[in-house]
Chain A
Amino acid sequence: MLEAADTIIQGLLLGGLYALFAIGLSITYGVMRLVNIAHGDLLVLAAYLALWPVTSLHMNPFVAILPVVVLMFCLGYTLQRVILNRTMGTNFLAPMLATFGISIILRNGLQQIYHSDSRSFDIGALGVDSIHLGPYIAIGEFPLIVFVVSVILTLATSLLFSHTRIGVALRATSDDAQTAGLMGIRANRTYAIALGLSLALVAVGGVFAGMRTTFTPESGPASLLYAFEAVVIGGMGSLWGTFAGAVILGMAQGVGAKVGAGFGILAGHLVFLAVLAFKPTGLFERSR
């Protein structure tokens, strides 16, 4: 019984990391119906961006997150303004193909520079220390930190959307970009901020992922898949829905791994497929 509780808790904490992967994807889909195929590769890029200050300047990887977040925001803003805004319009396929191209460029670019050696960030004892709650339940300190950060960032993002001027502008543009233009809101700029925000959030997920396990230039697609699954399970375009979707995915993987080694990821996919089959709009679809 307690062992089962432990499995659930581990899955929940893993879900926190997946939420960091997924929230950004949820934002770009929610605001501008952009399915960002490069999302996972951008996550890996963020990890590589943190690599230099950590290895050369001996910066603590937790501290390195901050400059990487800023850089990734700027990158997102620029990508949208310079490339993706030109593809936005009635056809959702065009921006999607553009991100597919970006994905290929990123993966091969990273391969060229860093080769395929796997890397990770050393966080010392923090990576293995855990808080013991009785003989069966142990909560890893690092996964707990990731989970708490993930909750805080999801909350901050949802407050940004509900309570700030830019958040209201993002929602208005998402509802009706043309009418928002009549109010003086430039959709091109709003979209750029949305992608900036998306990449700032995935940057945190990318560096955390690098602390938890290893990464290579080829790690992107798997991360994209988990992010995508979390967004679909939770319901397109809803932030807390996406968070819940990530947690469900994490738990499914945890339970699956308990059933048998190698079943973890498969169990996640099965839950994803079940949601697609029985409630394709997601479990927590934003009510409209």
Chain B
Amino acid sequence: MLQVRNLVARYGDFQALFGVDFDLKQGSIVALIGANGAGKSTFLKSIAGQMPSKSGEIRFNSEEISTLPPDRIVREGISLVPEGRRLFRSLSVEENLKVGGFAGRKGRWTLGAVYDLFPQLKDKRHTPATALSGGQQQMVAIGRGLMANPDLLMCDEVSLGLSPVVIKDIYKVFPQLRAESLSLIVVEQDIDAALSIADYVYCFMHGKVTLRGAPEELTKEQISAAYFGLEAA
């Protein structure tokens, strides 16, 4: 469903991605792991149309989307839950969710469906979104992403700054979403959390993919080598 070929992206003079190839099958969860600055977030931003300076091919449902702006890409069915959640601070929880639906794609995700998925949000729906706890803010961000009724949901650094209990709470929804034939890309620094839910893993280092494979095929040594750039001892 998503095919990326030879993706190169840069911030001014700084090159962040060096020819990344990537494939995703419909209804699967792909985890991107790697250290800070490895290019994971840049990769998601490139797909979402937020990197003005990039080259390469990005095909989604066999359509070339690499030149489309972000507001068109969300209409094509790709929704990004950005790093740091980026909730709208002057909007309530419910308004944040509503904005998520502004792209106008029809589907199963409505306010009610999001509240069913994250029941904690329902009582807080008129609270300013940024007054919630970190975990609840992340739920709002994911709910807002779902409101676009995407075919592919991309979540950047979901667990950053959250307690293990909350992370578990949030991670359990991903397999639920996959069961509804939604595809997911999840960027994660916590390798164990990533391996527990992913169907396929890409490891990034210095803007390149250093390892790819299904979690059960990969050994811990391979992963640490790809993650840290160390030769297995």
**Using a CB–CB distance below 8 Å, which chain A residues touch chain B?**
165, 168-169, 171-172, 174-176, 178-186, 286, 288
Contact A172 B88 (CB under 8 A): yes
Within 8 Å by CB of B102, from A171, A178, A185, lies: A185
Contact A183 B89 (CB under 8 A): no
B40 CB–A CB distance under 8 Å:
no
Within 8 Å by CB of A183, from B69, B90, B102, lies: B102
Contact B71 A168 (CB under 8 A): no
Contact A181 B70 (CB under 8 A): yes
| Complex: A178 Cα to B102 Cα, angstroms | 15
A-B contact pairs, 8 of them (CB 8 A): A171-B91, A172-B88, A176-B86, A183-B100, A184-B74, A184-B148, A185-B102, A286-B90
Measured between beta carbons, the chain B residues less than 8 angstroms from A185 are 71, 99, 102
- B89-117 near A? 1/0 per residue, CB < 8 Å: 11100010011101110000000000000
Given contacts A183-B74, A183-B144, contact A169 B102 (CB under 8 A): yes
> In the complex, how many angstroms separate the beta carbon of A88 from the nearest chain B beta carbon?
15
Measured between beta carbons, the chain B residues less than 8 angstroms from A186 are 71
> In the complex, how many angstroms separate the beta carbon of A135 from the nearest chain B beta carbon?
49
A contact face: mostly helix, strand, loop, or mixed? helix
> In the complex, how many angstroms separate the beta carbon of A225 from the nearest chain B beta carbon?
29
Contact B71 A179 (CB under 8 A): no
The 5 residue pairs across chains A and B that have the minimum distance between CB atoms: A184-B103, A181-B70, A175-B88, A179-B86, A172-B88
> In the complex, how many angstroms separate the beta carbon of B73 from the nearest chain A beta carbon?
8
B187 CB–A CB distance under 8 Å:
no
> In the complex, how many angstroms separate the beta carbon of B90 from the nearest chain A beta carbon?
5
B34 CB–A CB distance under 8 Å:
no
Given contacts A171-B91, A184-B71, contact A178 B99 (CB under 8 A): no
| Complex: A180 Cα to B71 Cα, angstroms | 8
Contact B75 A184 (CB under 8 A): yes
Which chain A residue lies CB-closest to B84? A179
Contact B70 A176 (CB under 8 A): no
Within 8 Å by CB of A174, from B50, B69, B86, B90, lies: B90
Extra A-B contacts (6), CB below 8 Å, given A172-B91, A181-B50, A183-B103: A172-B88, A175-B91, A182-B71, A182-B80, A183-B74, A184-B103
Most A-side CB within 10 Å, residue of B69, B90, B91: B90
B138 CB–A CB distance under 8 Å:
no
| Complex: A184 Cα to B78 Cα, angstroms | 11
B28 CB–A CB distance under 8 Å:
no
> In the complex, how many angstroms separate the beta carbon of A161 from the nearest chain B beta carbon?
10
Contact B91 A183 (CB under 8 A): no
Which chain A residue lies CB-closest to B105? A184
B79 CB–A CB distance under 8 Å:
yes
| Complex: A42 Cα to B150 Cα, angstroms | 43
Contact B104 A184 (CB under 8 A): yes
Contact B148 A183 (CB under 8 A): yes
B143 CB–A CB distance under 8 Å:
no
Contact A165 B86 (CB under 8 A): no
Contact A178 B50 (CB under 8 A): yes
Contact B82 A165 (CB under 8 A): no
| Complex: A181 Cα to B75 Cα, angstroms | 11
Contact B100 A175 (CB under 8 A): no
> In the complex, how many angstroms separate the beta carbon of A157 from the nearest chain B beta carbon?
15
Contact B86 A168 (CB under 8 A): no
| Complex: A184 Cα to B79 Cα, angstroms | 10
Contact B82 A182 (CB under 8 A): yes
Measured between beta carbons, the chain B residues less than 8 angstroms from A165 are 98, 102
Measured between beta carbons, the chain A residues less than 8 angstroms from B148 are 183-184
Measured between beta carbons, the chain B residues less than 8 angstroms from A178 are 50, 70, 86
